[in-house]
Amino acid sequence: MKLAAVSIIKNEADIVEAFVRHTRAWTDLHLVFDHASTDGTREILCRLVAEGLPLRLYTDDALGNLQQFRSNHLARLAVAEFGADWVIPLDADEILVAPDRPALEAVLGSPGTDRPVSLPMANYYPTSDEPAAEPNPVRRLVHRSSLAGATRKIAIPAALARDPGIEAGKGNHALYRDGTPVPDRPAPPGFHLAHFALRSIGQQVLRVVTAELQKLGRGRAHAGLDVHYRLGFQLLADRPDLFVETLFSSPATLERDPAPYRGGPLRYSASAEDWQRVARALLPFLESLAKSHGDLVDRLPPAQGAATATPEIRPLDVAVPAASADGARFSGFDPVDGLGPPEGPFPGAFLPIFRWGMGPRTVLRISSPVARTGLLRLECATYLDDQSMTVSLDGAAVRSFRFPRTNQKEVIELPLALRAGDNQVAISYGRHFSSEADPRKLAVIFLAIQGG
């Protein structure tokens, strides 16, 4: 049985060598599309080709988000030109785990080979006790989340890879025919992908900044599947300490389960510190964005392309920022109803410690010794499209707010006419969601609530 892997890669210099060497232990051929990497990834791939690994490299000059078109093209190429019996789409941060190659072939070749085989993904996270000097992320990160309910990715049989009526969806989580998912066969226990999406502070900075700037540059930033980087981008800009907090997990919350690495020693991957790779990768991208904007300005009529009027110089409003100590992020109130306990951090969602606001409303009590004007400050985000929120004080509406974008942090500051004694603040939500795994009516994420 001939097995081929296909991968779309951009700026993965810290893991790409380990990934390619490990994947070589499972496949006969690896087709890799490098999407204009600038951090040393392409140089490492070329060295691996020169070393004699069965690696074929591809690229193009398109600027758009064409990842799935490229992946589908490589899958068909692996079958049509290289005779692959099965194609396994893998990202550079996905490490195949199975007992051995014969066992993998037995699973793929078992009855029902006209259907894709799905592999669950186990997410690995950095922890405070990892060996920082280990350059191989697969060996450095040894703690993972549970496999229960994990996202799955597919291996594709040749017959489906060559069928022009079938396409893999974004992320290669399923095959589709005319928009309808093609049934798959779950792989048995012992077969999965170890997912190393979060590997270091520098790698996470590069990932979040690049993804969000690309999203903004394409327009319609509120739409699409890649809106989840927004909160991480805002935290990095506003509160880098909270951004770092989202990255490192406590070993006590995870399972220790080192992924078996089968790729041999690394030869090309230990040359640069995080900040060097981040600068090398980001600066060409930022230069390209700046040049693109400059070209647009140059095409405007002179009166629009340059500021011609004398600017008005005005006083700067002085605003004293709220206290930023962790203990002050939830302070000045007593929860009455509809506010969950502190949770997190959750690295995959870029969430530091937070609390859920639950539908239909959250009720808070703010006490004041005298009648006065107080302030309620909410730092919040939502996962729901078209979410709205209304804040009331003692039954009288104070303000209504509609979230313009999912996963974007909003800061809402409301003056409150507090009376002496207890005051009741109600935050009502337009929508909420729940699931079998979490039956609570989840509406809004609060990163901070400060009242007083």
Tens-digit pLDDT string for the chain (452 aa)? 999 999 999 999 999 999 999 999 999 999 999 998 999 999 999 999 999 999 999 999 876 667 888 999 999 999 999 999 999 999 999 999 999 999 999 999 987 678 999 999 999 999 888 887 899 999 999 999 877 666 899 999 999 999 999 999 888 889 999 889 999 999 999 999 999 999 989 999 998 998 888 888 776 656 555 567 899 999 999 989 889 888 888 888 889 999 999 999 999 986 656 788 889 999 988 898 888 888 888 888 876 655 556 778 988 877 555 444 445 899 999 999 999 999 988 888 889 999 999 999 999 999 999 999 999 999 999 999 999 999 999 999 999 999 999 999 999 999 999 999 999 999 999 999 999 889 999 999 999 999 98
Per-domain boundaries in the chain: 3-261+277-283, 326-451
Determine the residue type at 167.
E
Q: Reduced to 3 DSSP states, what percent helix, strand and coil does the chain have, rounded to the nearest 5?
A: 30, 30, 40
pLDDT of residue 222: 60
Separation of alpha carbons 410 and 412, rounded Å? 6
pLDDT of residue 364: 97
pLDDT of residue 116: 94
Separation of alpha carbons 141 and 372, rounded Å? 53
Cα-only R_g, the chain? 25
Separation of alpha carbons 400 and 385, rounded Å? 16
Separation of alpha carbons 3 and 96, rounded Å? 13
pTM here is 0.84
pLDDT of residue 63: 67
pLDDT of residue 249: 82
Separation of alpha carbons 375 and 314, rounded Å? 27
pLDDT of residue 218: 72
Tokens of 354: 């937070």
Q: Decide if 229 contacts 371 (C-beta within 8 A).
A: no
Give the tens place of pLDDT for each residue, 316-351: 877 555 444 445 899 999 999 999 999 988 888 889
Determine the residue type at 341.
P
Task: Report how many helices (DSSP H) and strands (DSSP E) the chain contains, helices first.
Answer: 11, 24
Q: Decide if 54 contacts 78 (C-beta within 8 A).
A: no
Which numeric CATH code is attached to 326-451? 2.60.120
pLDDT of residue 326: 46
Choose which CATH entry (1.20.120, 3.30.70, 3.90.550, 3.30.1360) describes domain 3-261+277-283. 3.90.550
